[in-house]
């Protein structure tokens, strides 16, 4: 029986890793420059964390979680998103006593039981940021500024920032009331999920993707018309900060986000490239979350960006990412020099060079082929003569040019050749 990778998962093969590293390293570099520090949380948590922290009315909790009982009968869930785990860790590790705001970023994989589609997997990766402890709209603007810098440095030009506000516990009840009044007469024409959502949280209906529900969603009331004075001011301040940072946005009157705990600012980056529709990244403010999880009321804002979706965009928009580091040297050896060749490779590698040598005890002809495939810059044939003379003929594979170099000078020769 052949065992295949589970449905909805994929292998990330060596050839693809340089693309992954390019976006992951750029993201880390941008976050560090804004003063954010990386953290990681466990791959699985108590189910209760997500039930409370993501929210019972969300698709994630209702349909998408990988939940299992461990051997002691406790209910555990593979993390479907990052914010709940980070908020839990923030409380549990006493991070509230650190100077505010606490600025964090992460690069982790997540698990959701979803229908497989292009850019939609059951295990996928996200790059994300959280800034915990600031109630100010400037914190909202800062996390968006991080994304703007990241996309600019990556070269992802065809993007649009969609911006909205979903109010706060003060003004949301009026909006929910208006939503209920709007949807109620049409419930019989809407999907069963929306009928369910109507009962638990009508806000969720705005996120429905079923075609026949769209006409009713399109002319639904907008939270933006129901914001209280404080939420209105917060939203204005965020918009003014973005304008000062030269970050353009599109006000989206119907945006809701996938998690229950969002308050006030919500945003998404969508691709404007023809043919690759969809959201690359989503985020928002979640002032209620830390308290819901048992901490002191603590305002926070953050975002998460799917790496697979980002890489699809990178490809669609024709962005060249740096290739894998080149191989500096391939050493061909013989049975009587193989170990010396390995020792030489060891020395060169420890000086920072990338060097390959034969560990299959193959013929010279086979090693030549391997050297070719390795795309090394230089080649050295290490025979008994070279061993005795302590010098090598080093051959540049691009044009066949040869030079004689002593064993002592080899490291410097190769390091210089790199520049």
Which residue ranges make up the site for ligand ATP (CB under 6 A)? 81, 112, 114, 119-121, 124, 126, 258, 279-282, 304-306, 308-309
Q: How many CB atoms lie within 10 A of CB 311?
A: 20
Using the minimum distance from each CB to ligand ATP, give the nearer residue, 279 or 317. Answer: 279
167 within 8 A of 223, measured Cβ to Cβ:
yes
Using the minimum distance from each CB to ligand ATP, give the nearer residue, 264 or 395. Answer: 264
Using the minimum distance from each CB to ligand ATP, give the nearer residue, 119 or 295. Answer: 119
Minimum distance, C-beta of residue 54 to ligand ATP, in the bound complex (Å): 9
Minimum distance, C-beta of residue 30 to ligand ATP, in the bound complex (Å): 17
| Pair of tokens at residue 196 | 């369910």
Using the minimum distance from each CB to ligand ATP, give the nearer residue, 124 or 382. Answer: 124
* CA separation for the pair 198, 307 (Å, rounded): 33
Using the minimum distance from each CB to ligand ATP, give the nearer residue, 124 or 150. Answer: 124
Minimum distance, C-beta of residue 7 to ligand ATP, in the bound complex (Å): 12
For residue 75, give the 3-state DSSP assignment: strand
| Pair of tokens at residue 365 | 């002809």
Using the minimum distance from each CB to ligand ATP, give the nearer residue, 108 or 224. Answer: 108
Using the minimum distance from each CB to ligand ATP, give the nearer residue, 83 or 367. Answer: 83
* CA separation for the pair 145, 289 (Å, rounded): 23
Minimum distance, C-beta of residue 47 to ligand ATP, in the bound complex (Å): 18
Give all strands of the β-sheet with 75-78 in edge-to-edge order: 44-46, 75-78, 67-69
* CA separation for the pair 56, 397 (Å, rounded): 62
Minimum distance, C-beta of residue 93 to ligand ATP, in the bound complex (Å): 24
* CA separation for the pair 305, 130 (Å, rounded): 12
Using the minimum distance from each CB to ligand ATP, give the nearer residue, 103 or 257. Answer: 257
179 within 8 A of 256, measured Cβ to Cβ:
no
With CA atoms as reference, report the closest residue to 146 among 289, 256, 28, 258.
Answer: 28
Task: Give residues with Cβ within 8 angstroms of 130, minimum separation 6.
Answer: 82, 83, 86, 87, 102, 103, 104, 105, 106, 300, 301, 302
Q: How many CB atoms lie within 10 A of CB 239?
A: 19
User: Which residue lies nearest ligand ATP, judged by its C-beta?
Assistant: 306
180 within 8 A of 221, measured Cβ to Cβ:
no
Minimum distance, C-beta of residue 259 to ligand ATP, in the bound complex (Å): 7
| Pair of tokens at residue 140 | 């909202």
193 within 8 A of 312, measured Cβ to Cβ:
no
Minimum distance, C-beta of residue 120 to ligand ATP, in the bound complex (Å): 4
Minimum distance, C-beta of residue 194 to ligand ATP, in the bound complex (Å): 15
Q: Is the preceding peptide bond at 101 cis, omega within 30 degrees of 0?
A: yes
Phi, psi of 75 (to 5 degrees): -85, 120
Using the minimum distance from each CB to ligand ATP, give the nearer residue, 267 or 378. Answer: 267
* CA separation for the pair 24, 127 (Å, rounded): 8
Minimum distance, C-beta of residue 124 to ligand ATP, in the bound complex (Å): 3
């Amino acid at each position: 029986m052949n065992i295949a990778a589970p449905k909805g998962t994929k292998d990330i093969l060596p050839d693809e890793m340089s693309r992954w590293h390019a976006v992951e390293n750029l993201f880390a570099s941008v976050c560090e420059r804004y003063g954010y520090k990386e953290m990681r949380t466990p791959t699985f948590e108590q189910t209760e964390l997500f039930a409370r922290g993501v929210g019972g009315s969300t698709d994630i909790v209702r349909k998408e979680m990988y939940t299992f009982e461990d051997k002691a009968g406790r209910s555990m869930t593979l993390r479907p998103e990052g914010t709940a785990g980070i908020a839990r860790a923030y409380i549990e590790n006493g991070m509230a006593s650190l100077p505010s705001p606490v600025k964090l970023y992460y690069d982790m994989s997540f698990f959701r039981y979803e229908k497989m589609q292009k850019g939609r997997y059951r295990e996928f990766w996200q790059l994300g940021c959280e800034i915990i402890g600031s109630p100010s709209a400037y914190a909202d603007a800062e996390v968006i500024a991080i994304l703007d810098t990241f996309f600019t440095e990556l070269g992802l030009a065809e993007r649009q920032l969609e911006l909205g506000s979903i109010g706060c516990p003060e003004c949301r009840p009026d909006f929910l009331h208006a939503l209920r009044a709007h949807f109620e007469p049409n419930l019989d024409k809407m999907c069963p999920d929306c009928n369910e959502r109507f009962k638990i949280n009508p806000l969720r209906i705005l996120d429905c993707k079923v075609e026949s529900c769209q006409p009713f969603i399109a002319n639904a009331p907008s939270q933006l018309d129901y914001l209280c004075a404080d939420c209105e001011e917060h939203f204005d301040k965020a918009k003014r900060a973005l304008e000062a940072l030269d970050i353009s946005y599109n006000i989206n009157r119907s945006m809701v986000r996938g998690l229950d705990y969002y308050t006030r600012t919500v945003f998404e980056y969508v691709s404007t490239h023809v043919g690759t529709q969809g959201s690359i990244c989503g985020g928002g403010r979640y002032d209620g979350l830390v308290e819901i999880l048992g901490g002191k009321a603590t305002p926070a804002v953050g975002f998460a960006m799917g790496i697979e979706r980002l890489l699809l965009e990178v490809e669609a928009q024709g962005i060249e990412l740096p290739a894998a580091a080149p191989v500096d040297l391939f050493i061909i050896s013989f049975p009587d020099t193989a170990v010396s060749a390995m020792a030489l490779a060891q020395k060169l590698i420890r000086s920072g060079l990338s060097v390959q040598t034969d560990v299959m005890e193959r013929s010279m002809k086979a090693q030549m082929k391997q050297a070719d495939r390795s795309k090394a810059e230089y080649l050295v044939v290490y025979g008994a003569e070279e061993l005795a003379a302590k010098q090598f003929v080093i051959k540049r594979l691009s044009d066949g040019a040869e030079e004689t170099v002593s064993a002592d000078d080899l490291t410097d020769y190769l390091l210089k050749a790199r520049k």
